[in-house]
Chains A and B, each alone.
Chain A
Amino acid sequence: MQDERDVLLGLYRQMVLIRRFEEASAKAYSQGKIGGFLHLYIGQEACAVGALAALEKRDYVVTTYRDHAQALIRGTSARACMAEMFGKVTGCSKGLGGSMHFFDAENRMLGGHGIVGGHVPLAAGAAFASKYRGDGAVAVCFFGEGSATIGAFSEALNLAALWKLPIVFICENNEYSMGTPLERSLAVADVSQKALSVGIERDRFRCTDVLEVRDRVAVAVKRAREKNEPTLIEALTYRYRGHSMSDPGKYRTQDEIEARKKDDPIARAEASLRGMGASDDELAKINASVEAEVEDCVKFADESAEPDESLIEAFNYA
């Protein structure tokens, strides 16, 4: 068994990569190199990193438009991710998808979807296919608490429970659906209770300790893989940035944000690593290698070619 310290070092690197990658994205957005919408995951890193650490390569991942972290963790290169946002043909969706639509068939990353909640049935569909073929793959679906109020989510939850599909629903509850705090959108603030209405298992925890996230998601993944039983997990988290780059964030106070930053998942992992005996040098090396990777991916995206006009129609039909 891999040493837990090495595992945590790996997960720490993933979290740092996501954060540095997204900081570089925000900079590129402000320089006009990235267009459209850009939704940052900063602050929520332990959720995707911990959850995906519980998966196997054959498993499926489906997420929302806040999708950079999931793609990077699944193995899409930082180059392909950054180039996608720059709208370049070297991007993971050939520059046709953009920030919200990262896809990577090889790594079973089924997207990056822009319609709130609309992707939840798709994830159940991947789980349906897995059960149909009996291939043992599990589907993991990420969505915000803002998706918990739309019909597609409720329908998919019921169908997954009814048909016993191998799926883990992970509600990344970051407390705000765009600018609306959850107490103004959810009649019951505890999203995990929706599991009770369809008779499936649930879990609810704060996403600060990446190893705890991994372990608790692993229980649900095992339940899905071995018993075809879905689980609804409510991962309590917080985004430090606005809903998207165009969000000035006037609906919450700076004090609130600063208070939440004290519970930072990367700082938490760093403290744990030090407790496990990781040295300054070791952590500095990881940070330096991440910075080099991010610098390289921005350069790569900058220098890559635009997609040819012929791609406008090329992929509409198979």
Chain B
Amino acid sequence: MRELRYREALREAMAEEMERDERVFIMGEEVGHYQGAYKVTEGLLARFGEKRVIDTPIAEEGFAGIAVGAAMVGLRPIVEFMTWNFSAVAFDQILSHASKLRQMSGGQFTVPIVFRGPNGAAKQTGAQHSHAMETFYAQIPGIKVVVPATVADAKGLMKAAIRDENPVLVLEDERLYGTKGEVPDGDHVAPFGVAAVRRAGEDVTLATWGKMLLPCLDAAEQLAKGGGPSCEVIDLRTLRPLDHHTVVESVRKTGRLVVVHEAWPYGGPGAELVDRVQREAFDALDAPVLRCTGRDASMPYNKKLEDLTIPDAKTVLAAVRAVMAY
């Protein structure tokens, strides 16, 4: 085990995969000479050269499409979106091309490609730079959506994404880039579709993903210290495939579930999880399933209002108390 920062774990995963497979390359805005807008790709240009670390102009649809075309004929691109907000202008390439080519060609063409970058709110970046985009992408058959919350997963899920034969979207988080954590030595590859119990508990299940794992663990710790209900915290790790079985199993023990996510409350993978759980564990539920989500509003710039818009330990605690009141 070694301690790394989240961004270093991502970088190490990409570098190792580029070492083992000549077909892997990375392209995006500022990934090379600038060393990455968030320094995730720092040093890769010097190590792999301009052929494989490719700075692009500001043309998300163009370079995303070029990468999809390159993947169709056998390369394995990693496309960095400076943030997932900007993927909206490349949405057509993901929705109507990357995710569709295998199906509509009758299985003749596969698209082994990774789209990655930071997702969700950073700090006071305002309404256009704070989208939690998984709420759109997790809908789409033909792609996979990966949301690493821990440093070990930043490495392991990224490596799995690069090796996958399908389009994989890796939604990172600017607020996690500097976090530190243990990473297993060697060729650490994490599986898709396997949720992780990050903290065991008895009374209520908290299911979450990405950086919302942090307020969930914080709330669980506060409750444990204060003699409150015992929380089991589940990190979903991938949203497509979505491992609801681990959540169902937990709910059979606790009888209560709160789903915590940063994205808007209308629909999305949180609502999908709730639907699956109520169908498969209806008899085990002692309270309605609640969701603790981002507020149904465009992100305000003001710091106080931004903090109030995104779930934190306080709002998670309120949701836990609400399900415990039944």
| A318 adjacent to chain B (CB < 8 Å) | yes
Q: Flag if A92 contacts B70 (CB, 8 Å).
A: no
Instruction: Report which of A129, A130, A159, A314 forms a contact with B107, defined as CB distance below 8 A.
Output: A314
Q: Whole-angstrom distance from the CB of B101 to the nearest CB of chain A? A: 7
A206 to chain B, nearest CB (A): 30
Asked whether A152 is an interface residue with its Cβ less than 8 Å from the other chain, the reply is: yes
CB <8 Å contact, B65 and A120? yes
**Does B315 reach chain A (CB closer than 8 Å)?**
no
Set of chain A residues within 8 Å of B25, measured between Cβ atoms: 132
Contact (Cβ within 8 A) B67 A315: no
B73 A129 Cβ-Cβ under 8 A? yes
Task: List CB contacts (< 8 Å) of B42-101 with chain A.
Answer: 51, 56-57, 59, 61-75, 89, 92-93, 96-97, 101
With A97-B106, A118-B93 known to touch, is A151 a contact of B166 (CB < 8 Å)?
A: no
Contacts of B72 in A (CB 8 A): 110, 122, 125-126
The smallest beta-carbon distance between A155 and chain B, in angstroms, is 3
Flag if B73 contacts A118 (CB, 8 Å): no
- The minimal Cβ–Cβ distance linking B169 to chain A, given in whole angstroms, is 14
Select from chain B the residue with minimum beta-carbon distance to A111: B105
Whether B105 lies near A101 (C-beta < 8 A) is yes
* Most chain A CB neighbours (cut-off 10 Å) among B65, B66, B97, B103: B66
Encoded as 1 (CB less than 8 Å from any B CB) or 0, chain A from 109 to 128 comes to 01101110011111111111
Cβ contacts under 8 Å, A187 to chain B: none
Which of A105, A124, A154, A314 is within 8 Å of B69, CB to CB? A124
CB B145 to nearest CB in A, in angstroms, measures 13
With A118-B93, A152-B61, A316-B141 as contacts: A92 and B106 at CB distance below 8 Å:
yes
Minimum CB distance partner of A104 in chain B: B108
B38 near A: Cβ within 8 Å? Answer: no
With contacts A113-B97, A129-B73 known, is A101 near B141, CB below 8 A? no
Query: Across the interface, which residues of B come within 8 angstroms of A313, CB to CB?
Result: 141
Interface magnitude class on chain A: 35 or more
- Checking B56, B68, B75, B141 against A122 with a beta-carbon cut-off of 8 angstroms, the contacting residue is B68
**B282 contacts partner chain A, Cβ-Cβ < 8 Å:** no
- A158 with B105: in contact, given A124-B65, A317-B166 (CB under 8 Å)? no
Partner of A103, one of B62, B108, B142: B108
Q: Is the CB of B66 within 8 A of A128?
A: yes
Q: How far is the CA of A113 from the CA of B109 in the complex (A)?
A: 13
Q: How far is the CA of A103 from the CA of B72 in the complex (A)?
A: 12
Shortest beta-carbon distance, A131 to chain B, in Å?
9
Contact B92 A94 (CB under 8 A): no
Residue A257 CB within 8 A of the other chain: no
Contact B69 A123 (CB under 8 A): yes
Given A92-B106, A124-B66, the answer on whether A118 and B101 have CB atoms closer than 8 Å is no
A91 interfacial contact with B, CB 8 Å: yes
Known contacts A92-B106, A111-B101, then 8 further A-B pairs from the complex at CB < 8 Å, ordered by chain A residue? A103-B104, A113-B97, A122-B72, A132-B25, A133-B75, A155-B62, A313-B141, A318-B102
List chain B positions with a Cβ less than 8 A from chain A. 25, 51, 56-57, 59, 61-75, 89, 92-93, 96-97, 101-110, 112, 141-142, 144, 165-166
- Name 10 A/B residue pairs within 8 A (Cβ), A-sorted: A96-B104, A97-B104, A111-B109, A122-B65, A125-B71, A126-B70, A133-B74, A162-B57, A313-B141, A315-B102
